[in-house]
Amino acid sequence: MPTDPWWDIALDPDDRAADNRLHADGAPLVGGVDADGRPDLDYAGYLRLDLLLGAQRPASSVPDERVFVVVHQLCELVFKQMVFDLAVVAGTLERAAAADDAQALALAEGRVDDPDSATAAFWRPAITASNRLRHAARRILPPVMELMSANDEDDVLFSRVEFGLFRAHLTPSSGFQTAQLRLIQRALAKGPLLDLRVFPGAAYQSGSQAGGAAQSPCGHVALADPTVLRGGAETATPPSSHPATLATRLDGAAHALLARLADLAPESAPPAGGPPRPIDAADVDRAVDRFRATLGPDAEGGAVADFRDDLERAAAAENERRAGLGPARAGARALVETAPRSALAHVLARVVALDDALHAPADSFLTVHRRTVRRHVEDGSGTGGGGMPYLVTSQRYLLPLFPALVGFRGIEG
């Protein structure tokens, strides 16, 4: 069995209905009996509360730091569930795409509102997972982040002054180092953005060499660079052997299944209208101009040129991919026209909604995060090397260039 039982999951309905209890060396991982033959399970033991509630280690005696720690840990717990749910959706889509023609068509057309249909058990985990994903991004993450802001009555919940009393202790850590969010963004087709050199690496390089050795100059680095992510680099880009890599295949799995449906669609299905819109030169120019403004007048000239080169390469690769999404676009059109209430259409629409709820330029989780940073950090820098200018640049000028399920967007509505 996998080293981590979190990933020992059953997507096949028959496997879930069979003996599904997890064991190690013949003993159940949870429960069982104690030495006296009595049930060996209680609330605290099942939830590992000794570990969970012992994981808060503030750096100062400032009371408000406690909510700072808890908020970020809550976000990471939600991210963990989201990565898992993305993997469930991706795995389900891959299984549907691998089915024979008749079964693939039946799975694609199975209705979301028919719990007794033959395909209901197949789609059930993906439906609940995709529903949770949208809900987490819309209704859970923003209120958690608002614990460091103000409530509806404008009661201050976290003090800017108090934050200033412990902020320096946290350098060079930064919210930009959240590896699980980077993994989620890979699942949602944002991978090319994680390789753009946009962050001043020196802010993250501090203290990274053992023994205080002299450090070499560090220019701008990408979000996925180990200089930024440190020990989280493998979490953000898991090796192919790790189960979490399944989540990163979600966008590709969805487009592969939609392309399959194009071959199975009736001849009467309407045309899709060609591949998705490419990223054009004006898109790149706007992002580069914004990046130049973000760096300010004292910026190193090479950083802007590197950024343009990176973005042009990413856009060219993305445009080549989009040029091949014509069949997926046709399959999406056929799906929405012939089976608009199918479980597949439901799941894909929820993934699109998740992407928007996390990343949209307005009214998204990143919007709330940005507002929280602005409220409490006067210079907008945060504790790392990114801060407000980079949040704005990313959310308004970069993230919109790489939406999830680009072959399905605009058709699902």
Domain boundaries, the chain: 67-210+226-401
Give the list of residues 6+ apart from residue 254 with CB closer than 8 angstroms, or none. 93, 348, 351, 405, 407, 408
Residues 300, 193, 322, 109: what is their CA dihedral angle, to the nearest 10 degrees?
A: -170
Summary mean pLDDT of the chain: 89
CB atoms within 10 A of CB 309: 12
Q: Lowest mean pLDDT: which of 142-146, 227-231, 234-238?
A: 227-231
Q: Say if CB 222 and CB 385 are below 8 A apart.
A: no
DSSP 242-260: STTHHHHTHHHHHHHHHHH
Encode burial over 131-162: b for 16+ CB neighbours within 10 A, e otherwise.
bbbbebbbebbbebbbebbeeeeeeeebeeeb
pTM recorded for the entire structure: 0.93
* Per-range mean pLDDT, top range of 159-173, 191-205, 260-274: 159-173
Where does the pLDDT of residue 218 fall: very low under 50, low under 70, confident under 90, or very high at 90 and above?
A: low
> Rounded CA gap, 45 and 40, in Å?
9
Where does the pLDDT of residue 138 fall: very low under 50, low under 70, confident under 90, or very high at 90 and above?
A: very high
Percentage with pLDDT > 90 across the chain: 65
**What does the pLDDT look like over 279-289, one tens digit per residue?**
999 999 999 99
Inter-CA distances, 223 with 142, 200, 201, 359, Å: 22, 10, 10, 16
> Rounded CA gap, 296 and 314, in Å?
24
* Per-range mean pLDDT, top range of 146-160, 280-294, 385-399: 280-294
pLDDT of 170 higher than 60: yes
> Rounded CA gap, 170 and 185, in Å?
25
